[in-house]
């Protein structure tokens, strides 16, 4: 349950609001659900598709003080201890922040602070064919690993967040979630110059 609270608190912080996110109660898993069958979820109006271990639940709200900035989150659980989330920050036309190093470091630092985790690695990363950023953080007390991937695209900023018990990052499922993400309706603009694993944090 601590993992769910951490994810929600951070999503509130990153968009600069103190409002609550709507979320349906999660149903207990049965033995038949132990074998996870990942499914591709497509959100054409949000411009992306990604694979989740189950159909994600949507929460959406305007950001107080920054209207009409909209934050939408698509969240799915694998058992009770691993979470996969795509956060979409939608800015007014031409108002998206400049995706430079300072912007990425700010988002990663905010995530680490609110999740009580420490940045292990961070750096440039090609994600969905675009120049983006990725960080790995470790929450030692709760023994959790977090992978945070950031993909700017036009007037949107996408954040792919997966977190789970120690060993989740690196893992096939963490990479599977990130690598399944794709943008829809626009061509890639990656220079191809920043692929590879995140660099160690200074």
pLDDT in tens, 61-111: 666 655 567 888 899 988 778 999 999 988 888 888 888 999 999 989 988
Higher pLDDT, 2 or 164: 164
DSSP assignment of 126-182, as one string?
Answer: EETTEEEEEEEEEETTTTEEEEEEEEEETTEEEEEEEEEETT-SS-HHHHHHHHH-E
The answer to whether the beta carbons of residues 182 and 41 sit under 8 Å apart is no
The answer to whether the beta carbons of residues 56 and 40 sit under 8 Å apart is no
Distance of CA 195 to the CA centre of its chain: 19
Whole-model pTM above 0.85? no
Give CATH for domain 2-12+38-149+162-183: 3.40.1000
């Amino acid at each position: 349950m601590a993992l769910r609270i951490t994810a929600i608190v951070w999503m509130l912080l990153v968009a600069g609001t103190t409002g609550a996110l709507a979320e349906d109660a999660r149903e207990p898993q049965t033995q038949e659900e132990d074998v996870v069958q990942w499914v591709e979820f497509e959100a054409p109006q949000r411009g992306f598709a990604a694979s989740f271990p189950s159909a994600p639940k949507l929460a959406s709200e305007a950001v107080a003080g920054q209207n009409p900035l909209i934050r939408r989150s698509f969240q799915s659980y694998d058992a009770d201890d691993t979470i996969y989330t795509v956060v979409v920050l939608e800015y007014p036309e031409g108002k998206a922040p400049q995706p430079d190093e300072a912007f990425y470091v700010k988002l990663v630092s905010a995530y680490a602070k609110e999740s009580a985790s420490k940045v292990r690695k961070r750096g440039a990363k090609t994600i969905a064919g675009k120049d983006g950023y990725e960080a790995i953080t470790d929450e030692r007390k709760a023994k959790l690993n977090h992978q945070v991937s950031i993909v700017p695209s036009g007037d949107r900023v996408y954040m792919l967040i997966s977190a789970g018990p120690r060993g989740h990052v690196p893992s096939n499922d963490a990479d599977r979630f990130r690598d399944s993400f794709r943008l829809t309706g626009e061509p890639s603009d990656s220079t191809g110059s920043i692929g590879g694993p995140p660099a160690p944090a200074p």
